[in-house]
Structure 1
Amino acid sequence: MTILPFLISPVEQMIGAHTSEYKAYTYIDIKAPAEKIWSNVTRVREISEKEDQGYLTHLLNFPRPVKAELNYEGVGAYRAAIFTNGLVFHETVTEYIPLKKMSFTIKALPHEIPLTTMDEHLVVGGKYFDVLNGTYELEKLGDNSYRLHLFSNFKLTTTFNFYASWWTKNIMKDIQNNILQIEKQRSESL
């Protein structure tokens, strides 16, 4: 699978790069009060290396999540999702329903990211890859039982989107599952 781009590269060069949008969807079930879950969603306090369970991102040596800070709860709020190696996602809340839903645009500013953080093909907000927006939704399942959904939309501009999208979607899901697991553990703890 890893040599596939080299085998089809000559054909794809004739086709040229094109842009496509994709969605990464993840969820986790949590047994905790909605208020506790939501407080762990809106503001993610510092994540220790021990809490970080991202498998694929760790294997590929991608920046790991550190924390997320929201200045207030509501439409127009600003949230900084901070990762190691200088990666910061600037998020602006576009929809907010307390204890139910938070949607936000996501911007990574390539000039803020140190050149040693990622290969140019992987730079978020760069020429080839960008994360567009995200949404958290909290769904009630029963008494003190909820399903926390996390969606993110991203775009790729390559000559081999079908291959790159498989990798990118799995990396995005790994990051999201990692964050959801941390939010679950923190919400279910005393």
Structure 2
Amino acid sequence: MTEAPPDAGPLRVLPYSRWWPLAAGVLAGLLLRLVFSGKPGNAYAAMMGSFIYLSPVVVGAVTVYVAEKASRRSWAYYFWAPFVANIFFVLGTLLIMVEGLICAVVIIPMFALVGSIGGLTMGLVCRATNWPRPTLYGLWALPLILGAVETHIPVPQREHAVEQTMLIQATPERIWQEIHDARAIQPGEVDAAWFFRIGVPLPHAGISQTSPSDNIRVITMGKDIHFEQVVTDWQENRHVRWTHRYAADSFPKYALDDHVVLGGHYFDITSTAYSLTPRGNATELHVRMDYRVSTPFNWYADPVSKFLLTNFESVLLRFYQHRSEVSHPMQQTGKNR
């Protein structure tokens, strides 16, 4: 592709021409997202590797190709224009309501960086060859082809745990009561957790109940979310462990993104456990959460999940510390591990 003179091409004289390449890239991405609207586990699902890896590349490549049609751009442009275009692409999925806030916030950094790779690749093709258009067509066709066959490839799974400990100035019995009878949870008690800042509905209560068949703790949250934690290990005032049980209506439509719903195809918190150890006049409260991620990009999804769950555990520990110490506040001592 030969270098165009500075005043060549219609895009140089039309209003807002510098934004047209970005607009073209965003439009290309949105069209791909509309194609990848399949249900989790089916063909053309948005969490497929063919979409997650290749759609930002297509956005970046289209952005650079349209820009190069007007004039030669710099290597810095090849990087930053696709970076910005992919941010606008993700924001566009929110505007047309095909993506939820949680997924959008989580995926923006990855899309922006991968999209820059697509832009640099197209910039190299434009400078070194006369095949920018065939290359662009090939990049556009690749996710469409792979999206039809990727369902035959097993999705990798990772199962990890996060755990933390805090020393609380209260008796094990007092803390145990708060764990099993957490009512009327106020936003200010838990909204420091990034889970809730990016769109997960706030919790309302966590109340243990006993039935003839099992012991459970019922969790209720905003947007009518509800599910049960089933006791698998119980030592009064010392240790409790739950697994999660979901009903068909545990997560009403639009309450959570389909891609991050608990117990879903891609993510789950498989168990939660609390251990209480007396330490003089105080109690060491230990929390552990086991979780699963099942995506074609676990190298990214797993660290993000670990960060969010670790932050969530910290907020939970402070929540129980505050409620347990409320009648006799003392300076807290804490440690993480």
**What TM-score results when the alignment is normalised by the length of structure 1?**
0.86
Deviation sequence 1:45-65 (CA, Å, 0-9, x none)? 221122224331232121222
Match of 1:2 in 2: 109
Q: Does the alignment pair 1:140 with 2:247?
A: no
**1:125 matched to 2:284:** no
Q: 2:183 aligns with which of 40, 45, 54?
A: 45
Structure 1 unmatched ranges of 5 or more: none
Q: 1:102 to 1:3 in 2, by over 3 A?
A: same
Is the CA contact (8 Å cut-off) linking 2:172 and 2:277 kept in structure 1? no
> CA-to-partner distance for each residue in 1:10-56, whole Å, 9 max, x for gaps?
8xx79752112111212221001221111011221221122224331
Task: Tell me which residue corresponds to 1:30.
Answer: 168
Distance in 2 (CA, whole Å) between partners of 1:23 and 1:159 is: 20
For 1:105, what is the secondary structure of its paired residue?
A: strand
SS in 1 for 2:264: coil
Report if the CA contact (8 A) 1:15-1:159 is conserved.
Answer: no
After TM superposition, give the deviation of residue 164 of structure 1 in Å: 0.5
Q: 1:103 aligned to 237, 241, 245, which one?
A: 241
The unaligned stretches of length 5 or more in structure 2 are: 1-107, 118-142, 144-149, 328-337
Q: Which amino acid aligns with 2:285?
A: L
- Aligned residue among 176, 198, 202 for 1:64: 202
Instruction: Sort the Cα spacing of 1:107 and 1:44 in 2 relative to 1 into closer, same or farther, 3 A.
Output: same
1:158 aligns with 2:334: no
Q: Deviations over 1:38-95 (max 9, x none)?
A: 101122122112222433123212122211111149x931111122122223111111
- Which has the larger helix fraction? 2
Which residue does 1:91 correspond to in 2? 229
Q: Is the contact between residue 110 and residue 126 of structure 1 (CA under 8 Å) also seen in structure 2?
A: no
Q: Which amino acid aligns with 1:50?
A: G
For residues 5 and 118 of structure 1, the distance between their equivalents in structure 2, rounded to whole angstroms, comes to 24
Cα deviation, residue 138, structure 1: 0.4
Structure number with higher relative contact order (C-alpha < 8 Å, ≥ 6 residues apart): 1
Distance 1:159 1:45 in 2: 39
Q: Does the 8 A contact of 1:20 with 1:156 survive in 2?
A: yes
- In structure 2, the partner of 1:172 is 309
More strand, by proportion:
1
Distance verdict in 2 for CA 1:121–1:79, change over 3 Å: same
Aligned AA (1:185): H
Which secondary structure state, in structure 1, belongs to the residue aligned with residue 196 of structure 2?
Answer: helix
Shift of 1:141: 2.0
One-letter identity of the residue aligned with 1:147: E
Alpha-carbon contact 1:17-1:160 (below 8 Å) kept:
no
CA distance in 2 between counterparts of 1:183 and 1:68 reads 12
Runs of 4+ in 1 over 4 A off after TM superposition: 13-16
Letter in structure 2 aligned against 1:2: P
Query: What TM-score does the superposition give when structure 2 sets the normalisation length?
Result: 0.50
Q: Which has the larger radius of gyration?
A: 2
Q: 3-state SS of the aligned residue for 1:119?
A: coil
- CA distance in 1 between counterparts of 2:222 and 2:319 reads 17
